[in-house]
Amino acid sequence: MTATKPRGYTPGQLTVHADPPALHAVTRTLKGAGRRIALVPTMGALHDGHRELIRHARLAKGASVTVVSIFVNPLQFGPGEDLERYPRPLEADLEMCREEGVELVFTPGVEDMYPAGADTTVSPGALGDEMEGAVRPGHFAGVLTVVSKLFHVVAPDVAYFGEKDYQQLVLVRKMARDLDFPLDVVGVPTVREDDGVARSSRNAYLSAADRPRAAVLQEALRAGASVSAQGPEAVLAAARAVLAREPALELDYLELRDPDLRPDVRQGKARLLVAARLGTTRLIDNITVQLEI
Ligand code: AMP
């Protein structure tokens, strides 16, 4: 064993870890040898959106080792949500990681992350109860708890999150700042299907009839962004008009906020965010909007 090749790590090869202390020992040794650690947290069922995060991690400046975590986190699912039926194609996921040159994958079991009696959680603050948090109570406490544990286990220098889950990205960034995690949180633009629908592991749930209807979310956001020069009310009205054209869509929220998700944005850079249900499938999306200064 050398300083750069601890047990449980072989350069250029994929090693899978399920045990948190074992992975921690590996990343600590690699960091001690001057390697940067990049983390891409996922729930698996990897698609081109995740691939993009991995590529950003792999291509980042400075010699880095990329860790992809694959863990369907029960804490972030509410009662009646899709925890049990969430897809778990582990072999295909590992194959994608191999293709992308990932060297470390973390696949803990629920009991590894939450041993019996573990009931300490991270509280997200007020933003955690808004938008996604209003529809999915406790969701962001579950997300931040698992992300903080991943940050402790992996000790990354940098972690990558998708803009597709924009509120999650903002809350993780805020947690890293508020709780003094010494790392950079990097947001990666949303990867879309040809018709503009954001790639998501949950798109697989959509019925053949609902699949084309999902594109209306992105159309609505683009319609809103296209009238940004006319001010926030015009942006919201244009997006709402497009959403209203699709009767199968049940809107959870449509919000225009500043880049840190503070409400009442009047000018400058903003985010338009939407969430809706098509049948039993929830879809979310967002777009950047430049309001007149
Ligand atoms: P998930 O496995 O759904 O928890 O997602 C893991 C990470 O991948 C999160 O940071 C997501 O925001 C990100 N992600 C999921 N879908 C996309 C997408 N279409 N484009 C970019 N990032 C994505």
Q: Which residues, at least 6 apart from 93, have a Cβ–Cβ distance to it below 8 Å?
A: 44, 45, 46, 70, 105
Query: How do the domains of the chain map onto residue ranges?
Result: 15-188, 201-291
Task: List residues bridging with 278 in a β-sheet.
Answer: 249, 281
- CATH code linked to domain 201-291: 3.30.1300.10
Q: What is the pLDDT of residue 62?
A: 80
Tell which one of 50, 107, 158, 218 to mutate to probe ligand 1, the residue whose CB is within 8 A of the most ligand atoms. 50
Q: Give the per-residue SS3 of 32-52.
A: HCCCEEEEEEECCCCCHHHHH
| 139 classed as catalytic | no
Architecture of domain 15-188: 3-Layer(aba) Sandwich (3.40)
Give this prediction's pTM.
0.97
**Tens digit of each residue's pLDDT, the chain (293 residues):** 444 578 899 999 999 999 999 999 999 999 999 999 999 999 999 999 999 999 999 998 887 899 999 999 999 999 999 999 999 999 999 999 999 999 999 999 999 999 999 999 999 999 999 999 999 999 999 999 999 999 999 999 999 999 999 999 999 999 999 999 999 999 999 999 999 999 999 998 999 999 999 999 999 999 999 999 999 999 999 999 999 999 999 999 999 999 999 999 999 999 999 999 999 999 999 999 999 87
CB of 222 shorter than 6 A to ligand 1 = no
Q: Probe ligand 1: pick from 47, 53, 201, 202, max atoms within 8 Å of CB?
A: 53
CA 186/CA 102 separation, integer angstroms: 18
Between CA 35 and CA 67 the distance in angstroms is 12
CA–centroid distance, 160 to ligand 1, in Å, is 9
Which ligand 1 atom lies nearest to the CA of residue 161?
10
On whether the CB atoms of residues 74 and 26 are closer than 8 A, the answer is no
